[in-house]
């Protein structure tokens, strides 16, 4: 068995690669990643020498390269995570999201179709998507697999589009494909442009904590290692043509999460209670900011027996501990181009 994992040097991808390499020693894993600003091989230092692991640097938008990679390797499966993933960047530069998330996905679908050439026994194309394709909820209800798509940001529109292409390749060409749509992940190795690691880094540096709007938007947070476990389950036991929602049943209003994070940081850093919360600064809201996401993951729980393993308070504490123990990693990824990004985005 030889599986291609795309985007394996990123946040979630590195956890998925680590999980598969360790849990399935008989399975060969090729990690394909172009190493954008979000990709970092340091995320995989602990497993890079495992005999069933290999890294290939390459771009999913390069159709000829993807075609020859499939021809040379005859992969049995694909787990596709490579993407541009940050909503704020998609608002500033939408075209790269169309290229990577839409064109890149179609290149992979087509390469898999032509490599497998109708012989789909033991083959699977698994596309990792997001709950943002469903749009925004009011104060009631949850996203189910039947919720109509209603994306608002260039990021979520590009992910919605890629989901449609995956379904089209399943329905039209019979490609054995499965999709999952997950809520907000958190945990080690997340790039500090996303809320939790950005705020941990700013608290460490005593910089302002830029809360969009009134901080009333709600997200449903999932421990990234639980997402990796769900991906393993769906890859091996999910049904082709199906969609599975993955979420933590763990809704937090941004401001409540930020206050909890400030408390944990004060405690861990030996600062006065309330010191970090003083850094909170309300800033102009994100354009098209979705109010609330909440995932109903009942189908995945009922059909495949998955459930989240840890409570959010514990996961957040472990996340903070990881960032404090890995400040070298944080310093490396926040040098150079990151400073330019930060200046443009927040000043």
Q: Please name the residue that has the structure tokens 């020859």.
A: 68
- Is residue 100 part of the contact set for ligand NAD (CB under 6 A)? yes
- Is residue 136 part of the contact set for ligand DAU (CB under 6 A)? no
The nearer residue to ligand DAU, 77 or 151, going by C-beta atoms, is 151
173-205 in b/e burial notation, b at 16+ Cβ within 10 A? Answer: bebbbbbbbbbbbbbbbbbbbbbbbbbbbbbbe
Q: Kindly name the residue from 155, 244, 293, 323 that is annotated as catalytic.
A: 155
- Is residue 316 part of the contact set for ligand NAD (CB under 6 A)? no
- Is residue 33 part of the contact set for ligand NAD (CB under 6 A)? yes
Report what 276 binds from ligand NAD, ligand DAU, none; CB cut-off 5-8 Å by kind. none
Would you call 111 exposed, middle or buried from its count of C-beta atoms within 10 A (0-12, 13-18, 19+)?
buried
- Residue 17: CB partners within 8 Å, gap ≥ 6? 5, 8, 29, 31, 44, 47, 53
Q: CA separation (Å) from 41 to 28, 45, 347?
A: 18, 7, 30
Known active-site residue 132: yes
When binding is defined by CB under 6 A, the residue of 5, 30, 39, 329 that contacts ligand NAD is 39
Neighbours of 88 (CB within 10 A): 17
CB of 87 to ligand DAU, least distance (A): 4
Q: For the chain, what's the residue count?
A: 347
- Is residue 319 part of the contact set for ligand DAU (CB under 6 A)? no
When binding is defined by CB under 6 A, the residue of 78, 81, 160, 233 that contacts ligand NAD is 81
Q: Please name the residue that has the structure tokens 């005999």.
A: 51
Q: Structure tokens of 104? A: 């890149």
CB of 175 to ligand DAU, least distance (A): 23
- Is residue 11 part of the contact set for ligand NAD (CB under 6 A)? yes
Known active-site residue 26: no
Binding site for ligand NAD (CB under 6 A): 6-7, 9-13, 33-36, 38-39, 59-61, 81-85, 100, 104, 128, 130, 159, 182, 184-185, 191
Question: Which residues are designated catalytic?
Answer: 131-132, 155
């Amino acid at each position: 068995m030889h599986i291609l994992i795309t985007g394996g040097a990123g946040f979630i991808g590195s956890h998925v690669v680590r999980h598969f390499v360790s849990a399935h020693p008989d399975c060969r894993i090729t990690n394909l990643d172009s190493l954008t600003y979000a990709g970092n091989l340091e995320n995989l230092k602990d497993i890079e020498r495992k005999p069933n692991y290999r890294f290939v640097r390459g771009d999913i938008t390069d159709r000829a390269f993807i075609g020859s990679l499939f021809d040379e390797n005859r992969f049995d499966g694909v787990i596709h995570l490579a993407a541009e993933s940050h909503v704020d960047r998609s608002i500033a530069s939408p075209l790269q999201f169309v290229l990577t998330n839409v064109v890149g996905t179609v290149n992979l679908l087509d390469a898999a179709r032509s490599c497998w050439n109708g012989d789909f026994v033991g083959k699977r194309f698994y596309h990792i998507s997001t709950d943002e394709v469903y749009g925004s909820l009011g104060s009631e209800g949850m996203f189910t697999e039947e919720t109509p798509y209603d994306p608002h940001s260039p990021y979520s529109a590009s992910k919605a589009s890629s989901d449609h292409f995956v379904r089209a390749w399943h329905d039209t060409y019979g490609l054995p494909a499965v999709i999952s749509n997950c809520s907000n992940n958190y945990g080690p190795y997340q790039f500090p442009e996303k809320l939790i690691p950005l705020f941990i880094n700013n608290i460490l540096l005593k910089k302002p904590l830029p809360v969009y709007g009134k901080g009333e938007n709600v997200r449903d947070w999932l421990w990234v290692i639980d997402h990796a476990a769900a991906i393993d389950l769906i890859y091996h036991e999910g049904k082709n043509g199906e969609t599975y929602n993955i979420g933590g049943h763990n809704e937090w209003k941004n401001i409540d999460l930020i206050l909890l994070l400030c408390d944990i940081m004060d405690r861990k850093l030996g600062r006065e209670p309330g010191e970090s919360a003083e850094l909170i600064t309300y800033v102009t809201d994100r354009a098209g900011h979705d109010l609330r996401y909440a995932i109903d993951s009942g189908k995945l729980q009922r059909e495949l027996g998955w459930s989240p393993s840890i409570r959010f308070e514990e996961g957040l504490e472990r996340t903070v501990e990881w960032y404090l123990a890995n400040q070298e990693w944080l310093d490396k990824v926040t040098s150079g181009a990151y400073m330019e990004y930060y200046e443009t985005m927040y000043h």
